[in-house]
Amino acid sequence: MASMVAVTSVWSQEDDPAPVTESEAPFASAAEGEADLEAGKARYQQVCAQCHGERGEGNFQLKAPSIANLPDWYVAGQIGKFQKDWRGSRPEDVPGNLMHAIAMSLDPVAIRDVAGYIRSMTLVPTVVTLKGGNPERGAELFRERCMECHRYNGRGEPAFRSAQLIGLQDWYIVSQLKKFRDGIRGAHENDAEGTKMHRISERMTDGSFHDVASHIAELAEKYAVERPRRR
Interaction site with ligand HEC (CB under 6 A): 17, 43, 47-48, 50-52, 62-65, 67, 70, 75, 77-79, 88, 95-96, 98-99, 102, 106, 114, 141, 145-146, 148-150, 160-163, 165, 168, 173, 175-177, 186, 193-194, 196-197, 200, 212
Q: Which is nearer to ligand HEC, 5 or 107 (CB)?
A: 107
Query: At closest approach, how far in Å is the CB of 4 from ligand HEC?
Result: 25
Query: At closest approach, how far in Å is the CB of 215 from ligand HEC?
Result: 9
Q: How far is CA 129 from the centre of its chain?
A: 18
**Residue 186 contacts by C-beta under 8 Å, 6 or more apart in sequence?**
86, 87, 179, 180, 193, 194, 195, 196, 197, 198
Q: Which is nearer to ligand HEC, 6 or 178 (CB)?
A: 178
Query: At closest approach, how far in Å is the CB of 8 from ligand HEC?
Result: 19
Q: At 192, which amino acid appears?
A: A
Query: At closest approach, how far in Å is the CB of 47 from ligand HEC?
Result: 4
Q: Which is nearer to ligand HEC, 19 or 225 (CB)?
A: 19
Q: Which is nearer to ligand HEC, 52 or 155 (CB)?
A: 52
Q: Which is nearer to ligand HEC, 35 or 163 (CB)?
A: 163
Query: At closest approach, how far in Å is the CB of 3 from ligand HEC?
Result: 24
